[in-house]
A and B are shown apart, each in its own frame.
Chain A
Amino acid sequence: MRSRITRHLWPVLGEPVPVRRQPDGAPAAERIAPETPPLELSGRDYAISLLRLAAEIEHGLMVQYLFAAYSLDPPTAPTARRPMVRRWQEAILGVAKEEMAHLVTVQNLLTALGGPLQFNREDFPHDTVLYASGFRLRPLSLSSLATYVVAESPEVWEGEQAERIKQQAAIEVGGTVNRVGRLYEELIAVVGNPALVPDSTFDAASSAFQASWDEWGRGYRRGERGRQLADDPDAPAVPELVIVTVDSRATAIAALEQVGEQGEGFGMPQDEDESHFERFLTIHEELEALSDDERQALVRDVATNPTTDLSGPDVGADPADTETTSPIANPAARLWAHLFNVRYRKLLVSLAHAFELAEDRTDPNSPGPRGSLIHRAFTEMYNLRSLAGLLVALPLDHAEPDGPRAGPPFQMPHTLMLPHDEDDRWRLHRDLLDASATLADRIGAVDGAGAARDYLAALAQADRIERDQVDALTAATARATAGAPTP
């Protein structure tokens, strides 16, 4: 199935390829080179396919980084090392937030080009060709960090350290780790070429539907976001979130350049902010200076690729094996993991739905539901953080209470396509609230203690409030459709 996408990626990934293989396996001498745009695609269509892939990659990176950050700072970490580990955690969470902003900016680009939005991504297992660092949910380690460093690395990165880390990354994923920047370089070349993407392609009016800095950046400019460790002189610099609204070729190129620069830099970034590459490299250096035992003490023993699926071809027996999934056998943890998946879906649905509703710029006194959806998306980010905190403390397998922890599964839903009717979109929100309520009831029956119980009670109440609001919205739509007077 993935081949329908990968076959169009040849210009990004490919070298000239042989037209046939010889019976003995040796490639033939006759080769053809990739073309831009690929045959079958227009320039605009090709740009859209690349943007949709970029969205998948940003999404995948964000999830992996979140998982890695959540795996840090166990209660057993030595006190003296805690500030360093918290600094790493903040740095990785900061990068994850920036990937979220990249994901949103890529949706803006898709909106401006008139392409379908892309909030989907692959679960594990996946096609490593598409996913720069090889998609794996795993606790932070020297080798997992190596894959992030390489994925975010600039085009020119050489020397002993570079080769060593590239080697670590290659061993980790069993192949070459692709640079994300390569995709953005191709995008800039395509989007910047009027012969491929004419001026008329850019829909300035679509900006009302796009995410804006004022809405999604929460208005907090440089250095003022996620700086929990303000008193720590070693705290990482916090750069700008890149959320660019696109209405022209110039803004599209600016968006692509900023996203690319924040990752690895096309060349090294010119401003004072550290790129993702530099921040990961710093952590790698600090982690590398520790012994194996010291490293182990700083990271929670969280299972790799945790999943609610108990069977299937990818299930492994070793929770530390990054090539297999780790079924969550612990019934309580599995219910929490299901709840995590429902809230994850709710986040993505809220994001996608917000893009369907234009910002009403005519009357600042009567905001529509778009703002509510944006707030809901942030609310679900808070919920994912809370649920991840509970999951990294729960055993994967109740038969091994001291064994590996479960961890957040980040499993994708069966679909992220939104219904055509606005009313039906709100019904989808209601479905997710119902699914969440069912899970909360089940969890309450098996795991009803302490902070988890308090959290669940508060979440259930918040959901009831939201459900009433959704009911009121759908009822209002029904009345409007029926032509009945609004009471």
Chain B
Amino acid sequence: MIHELRILPPLAIARFGSAATPMDNYDAVVDPANPLGYRTLRPAETLEVDSDSGAITRAFVPDALSFSENGALRPVAPFLEVWALVGDEQLSGGGRLEALTTTLLQEEGASADDLRWQVQVANLKVVRRTGDANDAVRADSGEFSDHARRALVGECENFLPGKTIGFGHVQYIRPTANHPEIRLRFTPAAGRVYGSNREPFPDEQTPDPNISDVVYDAQRGGWDGYSDDRREPRITAPWQIYAGRPIGDRHVSAGYLDDGCDGVLRVTLEVGGRTLRALGRVGAGPPTYVPDAAPIRTVADELEQALLGPEVEPADATFERVEEIVRRAFETVRLMNTTFWNVNGMGGGRPIMAPSLVDAIAVENLHQSLLVALRSGSAPWFGDVLRDHDDAADSTDRGRRKMPAMMRGADGRLMTLTRRQIALIRTLAQGPLFTEEEPEP
């Protein structure tokens, strides 16, 4: 018996692309022969979908990876699977999750046609600045149970008549004998820029060619020409993240919008007189231009902390996990112009570190040496150089030199690792100085 439904993964992030074929699947792995290099992208099993029928026509592992097709980027279009909590026991007992398939549905006296989907996404970037609810761009697929593509058409009160922004589409994958699982695919938009006018910037002769359409009605809404109220405490993201021009001491919005979005998808199943529901989340953002590296702090770290808390059990504090954090620090620092940011970033106008120490290559090498040392089983000794979450506003030299350095957190303060990431490192540091392997038999 099915007790509950789940959508897995509960959060999927799509990436823009205008190519017709979505990006193939891959894993980013550390090559044992190249432990200090970039990660290796290893092709993984990929599902090919026939756009008309919605059926999976083949599962294959690509020979090679290509991020573009005919000069256009291939979008990352995630599948979201429905899983069922089944078993004779009640939920608090020994129920188990298994993929919802046509077979399982049949056992319940239902079919794939009995599932109803609804996807609602929005782009609230402008609302976040202007505070005007009429600046929200929303798309709603309505309920559907068929396998046709459903365009996600973004509509907005402050748009010009008949204008919309396409957020991509969703498609309920048609189950087949070879692929009987219940899935939905979200294909994001192309990654286009939309405008409020065709006026050239003051120092330009022609309009910005990146604007694919003028959709925003600057007479109705205030986004074109908007500037931040610096006394507004809710604005923590800097004005540099939206296009505009300086007028006096203000940064004035040029009225740009984009086709990024996030939202929820719901699935409903009526079975045995009961209504089962599940909810998942999707988001769409820019392509990953450095797919073989990861940032030091990610949404996944936030979610893990939210789920499991800021402390770790000693058994969780493994060398592999700490190496992963250090590797991401290394991958982050190798993308930074450290000499520039030492003087110009989060510094209040004065260098953060001794200038002799911030040569980009030397800093990169130093981080590599941490990776080397961890591989020997030597306990991490650098837990005390990490910036704690409650030191994010410490702008003394001492505070600014903590790690991660020269970076800005989402709150506009100095970047910190999550408390849980820090706990992982410090917990491992409190173990034996040298970890000895069990002798081989």
Contact = CB atoms under 8 A, between A and B. Distances in A.
A99 to B, nearest CB: 17
Contact of B385 (A86, A218, A392, A454): A218
A382 to B, nearest CB: 4
B274 interface: no
Contacts of A371: 354-359, 362
Contacts of A23: none
Interface stretch (A162-170, A267-275, A419-427, A462-470): A462-470
Given A359-B356, A461-B34, A365 B339 contact: yes
Contacts of B295: none
Given A75-B436, A225-B384, A393-B436, A219 B378 contact: no
Interface size class of B (residues with CB under 8 A): 35 or more
A457 B378 contact: no
A465 B365 contact: yes
Interface centre among B35, B373, B375 (most CB of A within 10 A): B373
B401 A459 contact: no
B377 interface: yes
Nearest to A235: B430
Contacts of B343: 364-365
A386 B376 contact: yes
A224 B384 contact: yes
Judged by DSSP, the binding face of A is: helix
A73 B434 CA distance: 9
Interface string B342-374: 110000000101111111011101101111110
Interface in B11-49: 32-37
A447 B296 CA distance: 35
Contacts of A229: 430
Nearest to B383: A228
A193 interface: no
Contact of B377 (A218, A360, A451, A461): A451
Contact of A375 (B357, B434, B435): B357
Nearest to B426: A230
Contact of B35 (A365, A449, A461, A466): A461
Interface in A350-395: 359-361, 363-372, 374-376, 378-379, 382-383, 385-390, 392-393
B437 interface: yes
A441 B296 CA distance: 34
B393 interface: no
A231 interface: yes
A86 B430 contact: yes
Interface centre among B351, B368, B371, B432 (most CB of A within 10 A): B432
B354 A462 contact: no
Contacts of B401: 218-220
B56 to A, nearest CB: 39
B121 interface: no
B89 interface: no
Interface in B195-235: none
A215 B362 CA distance: 13
Contacts of B376: 386-387, 389-390, 451-452, 454-455
A455 B363 CA distance: 20
B331 to A, nearest CB: 15
B401 to A, nearest CB: 4
B270 interface: no
B433 interface: yes
B378 A386 contact: yes
B356 A461 contact: no
Given A220-B401, A461-B37, A366 B371 contact: no
B343 to A, nearest CB: 5
Contact of B353 (A214, A361, A379): A214
Contacts of A75: 432, 436
A108 interface: no
B36 A389 contact: no
B434 A389 contact: yes
Contacts of B355: 360-361, 363-365, 367, 371
B377 A389 contact: yes
A461 B36 contact: yes
A450 interface: yes
A109 B345 CA distance: 35
A212 interface: yes
Interface centre among A221, A368, A451, A457 (most CB of B within 10 A): A451
Contacts of A368: 356, 359
Given A383-B372, A462-B36, A220 B398 contact: yes
A463 B212 CA distance: 50
Given A367-B358, A382-B378, 6 more contacts: A86-B430, A86-B433, A371-B356, A371-B358, A374-B356, A455-B372
23 contacts: A75-B432, A82-B432, A218-B401, A219-B398, A220-B402, A228-B384, A230-B384, A231-B426, A359-B356, A360-B355, A367-B356, A367-B358, A369-B359, A371-B356, A371-B359, A372-B359, A375-B363, A390-B434, A451-B377, A451-B437, A458-B35, A458-B36, A458-B375
Interface of B: 32-37, 339-340, 342-343, 351, 353-359, 361-363, 365-366, 368-373, 375-379, 381, 383-385, 397-398, 401-402, 426, 429-430, 432-437, 440
Interface of A: 69-70, 72-73, 75, 82, 86, 89, 212, 214-215, 218-221, 224-232, 359-361, 363-372, 374-376, 378-379, 382-383, 385-390, 392-393, 449-452, 454-455, 457-459, 461-462, 465-466, 469
